[in-house]
Amino acid sequence: MSTDAFVIGAGVIGLSTALRLARSGLRTTVYAAAPPHRTTSAAAGALWGPHLVGADDRVPEWAAQTLEHFRGLAADPAAGVRDLAGVAAAPGRHESGPGESGGPGKSGGPGESGGPSDADVPPFLRGADGLSRCDPATLPGGFAVGWRYRAPVIAMPDYLDYLLAQVLAAGGEVRLGPPLPSLAAAAARTTAPVLVNCAGIGARDLVPDPDLEPVRGQVVVVANPGLTEFFVGEGSGPDEVSYIFPHGATAVLGGTQRRGDASTAPDPATAARILAQCTAIEPRLAGAPVLAHRVGLRPVRPRVRLAAGTLADGRAVVHNYGHGGAGVTLSWGCAGTAAGQVTRLLG
């Protein structure tokens, strides 16, 4: 079968983009060195909300488009998307939030009254439903400022399976093969007139892109003791965060934000720290059976790279990578933008 678009990468960005392309009637092939369950996306929590993503004025619109998409998917049990209530909290009044500028501490201090306004709502919460300040007395020990809201929480293994099935149902093709050392090597594998680079952290070598930095994330998956709300809490340092994301029978506990660390092997000491911190926040987690350990490398760069270019052989490439910790949050919006660029390139 001839191909219109050759998508590199089978994480949430690659599969979302491939699905948009296939549904628009384009003959689409996804090429990946690892199946979806072995990508960084599979290790995500994943709670909607821009996180560890570079300054980019396109992010709010992409996030809003993806939020609307997830709200629609919440009605489909197969998608693994749940609309849940929860809390984002910080130790006190300061200027950073969970993984990006402007977090819970940006609002007034503990005990401040009045409804939220655009001026004091943390940027990563804008667009969330039911947003209100928390009474500090209701927060776990060590946290002084918090926001309660509703947002989609996505069970990534289920969601990746759902996306893969949708790509195939729309007529797309998925191929697994050896890692691609360069865009030239990718071009040699297809006659498609447009390549779409959704390689995530792999784009650091594929392009290559020296601005792309791995930020290591490690999580622990446990049996859910009955939790129905999520929690995200800042630590005392800018790269410290604890989170609890319930997914039905399981819960994902985190986490880490280690810049420049490209190890994908779970660290036992880190896992123990995650379990201890999350149990201190939610005592019902004490003794919860550990089911799995996951590690992913967030592809962080100063700005999301979503733009068209030209390969050495004259064919076109559309780059769609560098989403940091916001790949899930921006996935559907970025997929739409990338698909639009591919369509224009194909005339």
**Of all helices (H) and strands (E), which one includes residue 185?**
helix 183-187
pLDDT at 239: 67
Q: What percent of the chain is predicted at pLDDT more than 90?
A: 82
Question: Which of 55 and 171 is assigned the larger pLDDT?
Answer: 171
pLDDT at 96: 39
Domain co-membership, 222 together with 244: yes
CA pair distance 219, 236, nearest whole angstrom:
19
Given a cut of 90, whether residue 56 has pLDDT beyond it is no
261 located within any domain:
yes
73 located within any domain:
no
Q: Is 143 helix (H, G, I), strand (E, B) or coil?
A: coil
pLDDT class of 97 with cuts at 50, 70, 90: very low
Give the pairing of strands 194-197 and 5-8.
parallel
Domain range for 217: 82-152+213-299
Given a cut of 70, whether residue 105 has pLDDT beyond it is no
Interior CA angle at 169 toward 163 and 172, to 5°?
Answer: 80
> For the segment 150-198, what is each residue's pLDDT rounded down to a tens digit?
999 999 999 999 999 999 999 999 999 999 999 999 999 999 999 999 9
Q: Is 36 helix (H, G, I), strand (E, B) or coil?
A: helix
pLDDT at 95: 38
* CB neighbour class for 189 (10 Å; exposed up to 12, middle 13-18, buried from 19): middle
- CATH number for the domain that contains residue 130: 3.30.9.10
pLDDT class of 99 with cuts at 50, 70, 90: very low
pLDDT at 54: 79
Instruction: Count Cβ neighbours within 10 Å for each residue of 15-45 and write b for 16 or more, e otherwise.
Output: bbbbbbbbbbebbbbbbbbeebeebbbbbbb
Given a cut of 60, whether residue 118 has pLDDT beyond it is no
Q: Are 345 and 318 in contact (CB under 8 A)?
A: yes
pTM of the predicted model as reported, rounded to 2 decimal places: 0.90
CA pair distance 241, 291, nearest whole angstrom:
21
What is the sign, positive or negative, of the torsion defined by CA atoms of 208, 213, 214, 217? negative
Q: Are 299 and 330 in contact (CB under 8 A)?
A: no
| Number of domains into which the chain is organized | 2
Given a cut of 90, whether residue 115 has pLDDT beyond it is no
pLDDT at 113: 36
71 located within any domain:
no
pLDDT at 124: 77
pLDDT at 128: 84
Span 19-48, mean pLDDT? Answer: 96
CA pair distance 112, 145, nearest whole angstrom:
10
Instruction: Count Cβ neighbours within 10 Å for each residue of 226-246 and write b for 16 or more, e otherwise.
Output: ebeebbbbbeeeeeebbbbbb
pLDDT at 93: 54
34 located within any domain:
yes
Domain co-membership, 192 together with 92: no
- CATH number for the domain that contains residue 166: 3.40.50.720
> For the segment 197-228, what is each residue's pLDDT rounded down to a tens digit?
999 999 999 999 999 999 999 999 999 999 99
Domain co-membership, 204 together with 309: yes
220 located within any domain:
yes
Domain co-membership, 217 together with 315: no
Given a cut of 90, whether residue 122 has pLDDT beyond it is no
121 located within any domain:
yes
